[in-house]
Amino acid sequence: MRTITVDQVIETVAGLCQEANFRLGEDVLAAIERAQDEEISLTGKDILQQLLKNAEIAREEAVPICQDTGFAVVFLELGQDVHIAGGDLYAAVNEGVRRGYRDGYLRKSIVDHPFNRVNTGDNTPAVIHTRIVPGEHLRIIVAPKGGGSENMSALKMLKPAEGVAGVKKFVVETVRAAGPNPCPPIIVGVGIGGTFEKAALLAKEALLRPLGTPAADPAAAALEKELLETINGLGIGPQGLGGQVTALAVHVEVHPCHIASLPVAVNLNCHASRHKEALL
Amino acid sequence: MSQIKLTTPFTDAVVENLRIGQRVLLSGIVYTGRDAAHKKMVELLEQGKELPIPLAGQVIYYVGPSPARPGRVIGSAGPTTSGRMDAYAPRLIALGLKGMIGKGKRSPEVIRAMKQYKAVYFAAVGGAAALISRSIKSCRVVAYPELGPEAIHELVVEDFPVIVVNDVLGGDLYEEGAKIYAAR
């Protein structure tokens, strides 16, 4: 049994909220640089250059990459031999978000009720996903998610007979319909299988994988390559103004499913793919 | 690529000359507004009341900036998705609004209103929020401070880079651009 205090959790979450919003991952930067070489649209090339410059300013001046500093989505992998001391774990995560967003001058984008819509003023509550794992560590991943790309995400329960062709069609149509709205070049997270909510969570988790790392499942990895090629053939391009780089990556995660079901979830992310993690 | 410099407010003549794909460096005053501020403004119009900002010739930037660090003019300030303002925009365009800055597609109703009343829609680079903030020289809240990031701010911008997406002829760069680069 190992003890981790809520104060450690608060401090870690607060730091990760800021780091995620100020520092674009090296994998994303490398992907944008590659995209700049590949893009044939001059406007597209210029936009990608602006995104690189933007990331540099954000990193150097500790200002947010994007003004939409997101819904704080927090993944906890809690070792079953950890004892959380000093208070409520989820309250600690929310306190970390509160401090991180306040001290980092991050935008508060959460409203208290879907109809009432009064800003909570501190970007809480976070959306927290917890997994209990073996061991005596707590892994915390903070993944702030912007509204623009989240709004263009979609889920569909396909018939098993529609198969992989049906999955491809749904993913490509989701990206096509989204067009310029999710701020391309995007990262496409796809969750296939499981139940309704499992597919959605898989799609979100797919966005956390380092860009360019293929799926562990060979069929999923093959589908990623095929989807990326089709999506980049749509012509949407950087910011939807026309070009060859619409997506930087497609990440697919699969899960066993019911004999009657073929759920597919597509979670879109803008180029500001923000997620940072720490291991306590 | 060539860029033209424009200063707000706009006359009809300036707007009529703009074409999709043109890159513009914008200077002068622009007003910020998102869903909540638009809703409030349209409610005022329905009650026959005066708006908190002038509309004739003006430009609205769809943005909810992040808070400014001490000593800075503004936080990061990139465009938000314009489609959420589509329900309100035709009403403001009919009253003389000449330009909108945001990102993402506009509805057929907004595109029709731009054609009828002579207005344009510009895209700013979504996600280039830290870079864009360098073009913003001053910022003050002029209405609805209770809305926080959604309040209406008056921004003075200098050489703010934008691209014409919809013009007075009904052109749409999102449609045309994708057609050019789509795989055959």
Going from N- to C-terminal start, the domains of chain A cover 2-20+65-145, 148-272
The pLDDT of residue A84 is 97
Q: Mean pLDDT throughout A30-39?
A: 96
Rounded Cα distance between B182 and B115, Å, is: 27
Sort out which chain B residues have CB atoms less than 8 A from A62's CB and list them: 69
Q: What is the pLDDT of residue B99?
A: 97
Instruction: Kindly list the distances between the CA atom of residue B83 and the CA atoms of A178, A196, A201, B36, B171, in Å, as whole numbers in the listed order.
Output: 11, 28, 27, 14, 17
3-class DSSP state of A202: helix
pLDDT at res. B149 = 86
Residue B38 annotated as catalytic: yes
Q: Chain B contacts of A54, Cβ < 8 Å?
A: 125, 127-131
d(CA A72, CA B37): 24
Å from B24 to nearest chain A CA? 13
User: Which residues of chain B make contact with A42, given a CB cutoff of 8 A?
Assistant: 1
Residue B63 three-state SS? coil
CB-based contact A234 B129, cutoff 8 Å: no
Q: Residue A119: CA atoms inside 13 Å, Cβ hemisphere, count?
A: 16
Question: Which of A45, A102, A239, A269 has the most B C-beta neighbours within 10 Å, making it the best mutation to test the interface with B?
Answer: A239
**For residue A112, what are the contacts with CB-CB under 8 A and spacing of at least 6?**
A118, A119, A120
Mean pLDDT over A55-68 rounds to 96
Amino acid B25: pLDDT: 97
Question: Tell me, what's the pLDDT at B1?
Answer: 55
Sign of CA dihedral B34, A201, A272, A169: negative
Amino acid at A265: A
**CB proximity B13 to A under 8 Å:** no
Cβ atoms of B23 and B163 closer than 8 Å:
yes
* A3 contacts: CB under 8 Å, gap ≥ 6: A82, A83, A84, A85
Write out pLDDT tens, residues B73-104. 999 999 999 999 999 999 999 999 999 999 99
Please give the backbone phi and psi of residue B107, each rounded to the nearest 5 degrees, phi first.
-80, 160
Can you tell me the distance from the alpha carbon of B38 to that of B88, in angstroms, rounded to the nearest whole number?
6
Q: How far apart are CA A61 and CA A195, in angstroms?
A: 43
- Taking CB atoms and an 8 Å limit, are A236 and B178 in contact across chains? yes
CB burial of residue A265 (10 Å; 0-12, 13-18, 19+):
buried
Can you say how many angstroms the Cα of residue A207 is from the centroid of all Cα atoms in its chain?
Answer: 4
Note the pTM of the prediction, 2 decimals. Answer: 0.94
Q: Which of B116, B93, B107, B112 is nearest to B174 (CA)?
A: B107
Q: Which one of the listed residues B31, B32, B37, B38 is annotated catalytic?
A: B38
Q: How far apart (Å, rounded) are the C-alpha atoms in residues A82 and B39?
A: 49
Distance of CA A145 to the CA centre of its chain: 6
> Distances from the Cα of B93 to the Cαs of A225, A231, B43, B44, B61, in angstroms?
44, 35, 16, 16, 14
DSSP A61: H
**pLDDT, mean of residues A229-249:** 96
* Among candidates A64, A109, A239 on the partner chain, residue whose Cβ is nearest the Cβ of B126: A239
Interface contact A67-B131, CB threshold 8 A:
no
The DSSP secondary-structure symbol of B54 reads -
pLDDT value for B183: 78
- Give the ipTM of the model, two decimals please: 0.92
The whole-number pLDDT of residue B168 equals 97
The residues with which B138 forms a beta bridge, in sequence order, are B156
- With CB atoms and an 8 Å threshold, state whether A65 touches B67: no
Local confidence pLDDT in tens for the 184 residues of chain B: 578 999 999 999 999 999 999 999 999 999 999 999 999 999 999 999 999 999 999 999 999 999 999 999 999 999 999 999 999 999 999 999 999 999 999 999 999 999 999 999 999 999 999 999 999 999 999 999 988 889 999 999 999 999 999 999 999 999 999 999 997 5
Residue A121's pLDDT band (boundaries 50, 70, 90)? Answer: very high
How many distinct structural domains can be found in chain B? 1
Please, which residues bridge with residue A76 across strands? A130, A140
| pLDDT attached to residue B184 | 58
Segment A206-211 shows an average pLDDT of: 96
Helices vs. strands in chain A: H and E counts, helices first: 8, 10
| Cα–Cα distance for residue pair B79/A240, rounded to 1 Å | 14
Structural domain span for residue B75:
3-181
Average pLDDT over residues A90-118: 96
Q: Which CATH architecture has domain A148-272?
A: 2-Layer Sandwich (3.30)
pLDDT of residue A151: 95
For residue B49, give the CATH number of its domain: 3.20.130.10
